[in-house]
Chain A
Amino acid sequence: MANKVAIIGVAQSKYVENSGDALVDIIFEASAKALEDAQLKINDIESVTLAAHDMVDGRAITSMLTAPPAGAYLKDEIRVAEDGAFAAALGCLRILSGDFSTSLVVSWSKCSECANDTLHKVANLTYDPFFYRPFALNDVTSCAIQAQRYMSKYNISEVQAAQVVVKNRISGVKNELAHLRSKVTLDEVMKSNPVSFPLKALDLPPWSDGACALVLTSEDFAQKLKKPCAWITGFGWVNDTYYSGDKDLAELESLSLAVNQAYKMAGISNPSKDIDVAEIHDITSFHELMEYEALGFCPKGMGGKYLDSGATAIGGDLPVNPSGGCLSSNPYTAVGLIRLAEAALQVMGRAGDHQVPGVRTALAHGISGLCAQSNCVFILSK
């Protein structure tokens, strides 16, 4: 990139199962805190880029009421109906265009407002009414089919996936904002209720309430501020086919393509060496393993062995999800933006108890759509 974009402010809610606050208050808190963190006023914000889903928020046009508390009142605002990472990508494009020197990026979900299995039903509604929807496919069952294909193609075991849960939940304990802050044992994961083979209850993330906000600025703007920031040196996003039968579900091809765009932009040739920490969208424990491969951290089919080697644990060569990941906190739409926020904190050395020492380069990843249809990746540097 000719110009770089900087992340100069980061804020997150405390993720919880059921926030007592109204959705607009959750959003306002994160946005206001991000400005405070960036030491900016709302008048300094030239554009606002949001990510939210109508059907998750339970509104027809959610941003009509949620954009103003996110800081968009009388601002140039665009909302994407994608994972939060995609809003950050659009925010970057807006800054790189030269039309704006700042963009406030905000994403949220209040899953507690969705009763019981409503979100699974919403996921089922993502499938077309003719061919897929009658098969009771939803976020869990579609991921289960994907996990089965991955297991059989590459000989991955349920135990290897369960170890991802153990690892991320240990990390979650150290993150004071995480929703689930308790360790689980391998035995507990393996014996947790079967949901949809091979997925058991603990292989899946919780549903959480919360919001995340970032302040992005142009290179010039950040340099004038002279405060610590994380530089976005590369980013990319790619969409795969919708039809699950038209792709090999064991391969996250759109993630490979997206990360290659980001690596190329950032000049990264050897990801497992060049990247010091990664925050990736673990929609299930199996997906974290698949993502290791698609991101080029290890060769194809070696995701399980890579995990077994301890490389992705805290203290390993390439710690993955030191914040506890989505398996510890899952405010649905905001998850990808949280990954970016956590990666930025790692680069700035502000991740607190879950800080990985000596981080120079970090990777963040978010997923939109079912079966990881669309993927967005960021590379951050000091």
Chain B
Amino acid sequence: MARRAVIVGTGQTKYATKRFDKSAPDLIYEATSRALDDAELKVKDIDAVVFGMAPESLDGINSMDKWCADAAGAWNKPFMRVNTGGATGGSTALAAAYHVTSGLFNVVLAVAMERVGETPDAQRVLNRIYDPILASDFALNIIAAIAMETSRNMEIYGFTEQHMAMISVKNHLNALNNPYAHLQMKITIEDVLKSPIVCWPLKLFDCCPRSDGACAVIFASEDRAGKMVPIPAWVNGMAAVTDITVPGETGGAGWQAARAVWKAYKMAGIDKPRQQIQVVEAYSPFSSMEMVLYENLGFCKPKEVAKLAESGFGEMGGEVPFTPSGGVMCSNPIGATALVRVAEAAIQVMGKGDKRQVPNVKTALATGAGGSPGPGSGSFNTAMILGREPS
């Protein structure tokens, strides 16, 4: 990086199935204003805006960024919209950070939004991500693809439906501490195992909800950081990796997602993630995806993920808490979801997590994934490593 970027503020809306109380620009305005307040900035202080939104067919408005630009404070400012499916929020954060590290902009707003509530059937829309000639006809959608991936990963990584349920219980418990979370309910392992099968081995409580909501994160150049907020979150590593996702042609389980994270680790000087990272905001909309990340992100040896789940490794108070916010399993405004991971990781580093704060966070990892799942990852994978100090 030519120069460093830091995060100086975050803002989120309450996530819900349908935010009928707010239009799309209203949601953007709410998240943006909260981020500006958090960073104690005015809209005139923002030099450029990067906007994230995933498939327009979920929202029913083409290039909705153009409608929402005014609400993001982007009038007469450099503005661009990013779309990498579920990883959109991660790519939005990366693009905003590049605005700063290029040396051309000092303060840049990343803001992302989705109104999944506008679509009667999100999975039917997501069937349309597949090849119209070779794959769409197979009734593939994200849930079906993850189910296939999960049944394969249970074999490779050695975990059971019981272990998946443990992850689900943990994430739902965490969401009770997060005022923005969509699903806020306490569930037991039995509740998960007995919930209706959506697509085996995924049951209802193994799956994320579909949410409306927006998230904003403000990036600034390192020289401005000290003058703005007492404790910024330093961007110590960031990377993205795009994979091919023609079903049947993907590589080994989960290694694609790991590539982005390990690239970011290298930038941040991390070689022992279990010792060097205190909290992970993982992009895991399904309980099985988080299991796989334990191994692929270097937190355990092969085939140890089940043991980690049993030991409470990723719980609050565990060795390395995973998704203290409740994660994607409890709120999933698709285009914004990966930016929420970055925001929540920044909140942890800045010590603003309130009831969901993990003590003494020096380094936090935020991941993103989008497109169709290959085994253990998506077409698009992003990673950002934030630190209390520059690495």
Contact = CB atoms under 8 A, between A and B. Distances in A.
A89 B62 contact: no
B242 A2 contact: no
Contact of B2 (A78, A97, A239, A373): A97
A199 to B, nearest CB: 21
A374 B243 CA distance: 31
A-side binding surface: helix, strand, loop or mixed?
Answer: mixed
Contacts of B85: 61, 63-64
Interface string A228-263: 000000001111111100000000011001100100
Interface stretch (B94-102, B192-200, B284-292, B349-357): B94-102
A86 to B, nearest CB: 5
B57 A60 contact: yes
B55 interface: yes
Contacts of B63: 53, 55, 81, 126, 368-369
B62 A126 contact: yes
B25 to A, nearest CB: 8
For the side of the interface on B, what is the size category? Answer: 35 or more
Which residue, A1, A3, A94, has most C-beta atoms of chain B within 10 A? A94
A363 B110 CA distance: 29
A231 B241 CA distance: 28
A63 B80 CA distance: 17
A67 interface: yes
Given A77-B240, A97-B1, A369-B66, A125 B78 contact: no
Interface in A140-165: none
B121 to A, nearest CB: 12
A54 B57 contact: yes
Contacts of A370: 66
A225 interface: no
A98 B4 CA distance: 11
Interface in A166-183: none
A59 interface: yes
A129 interface: yes
For the side of the interface on A, what is the size category? Answer: 35 or more
Given A82-B80, A240-B75, A126 B66 contact: yes
A99 B98 contact: yes
Contact of B83 (A54, A73, A86, A236): A54
A39 to B, nearest CB: 24
Interface in A36-67: 48, 53-55, 58-61, 63-65, 67
Interface in B228-247: 239-246
B76 interface: yes
A5 B145 CA distance: 41
B243 A73 contact: yes
Nearest to A74: B241
A74 B62 CA distance: 29
Contacts of A368: 63, 66
A291 to B, nearest CB: 18
Which residue, B60, B63, B241, B256, has most C-beta atoms of chain A within 10 A? B63
A242 B67 contact: yes
Interface string A196-229: 0000000000000000000000000000000000
A59 B67 contact: no
Given A60-B126, A369-B66, A237 B78 contact: yes
A80 B88 CA distance: 10
B292 to A, nearest CB: 19
Interface in A87-130: 89-90, 92-94, 96-99, 122-123, 125-130
A79 B82 contact: yes
B126 A78 contact: no
Nearest to A82: B80
Contacts of A96: 2, 102-104
A146 to B, nearest CB: 15
A277 interface: no
Nearest to A56: B62
A274 interface: no
Given A73-B243, A243-B70, A78 B77 contact: no
Contacts of A48: 242
24 contacts: A1-B103, A59-B129, A59-B132, A61-B54, A61-B55, A61-B370, A63-B379, A64-B379, A65-B131, A67-B379, A74-B241, A74-B243, A75-B241, A75-B242, A78-B95, A79-B83, A81-B83, A97-B101, A129-B61, A237-B79, A239-B76, A241-B75, A370-B66, A373-B69
Interface of A: 1-3, 48, 53-55, 58-61, 63-65, 67-68, 72-82, 86, 89-90, 92-94, 96-99, 122-123, 125-130, 236-243, 253-254, 257-258, 261, 368-370, 373-374
Given A79-B91, A237-B79, A258-B78, 5 more contacts: A60-B58, A65-B129, A73-B243, A126-B67, A241-B75
Interface of B: 1-2, 23, 49, 53-58, 60-63, 65-67, 69-70, 74-85, 91, 94-95, 97-99, 101-104, 125-132, 239-246, 256, 259, 263, 370-372, 379-380
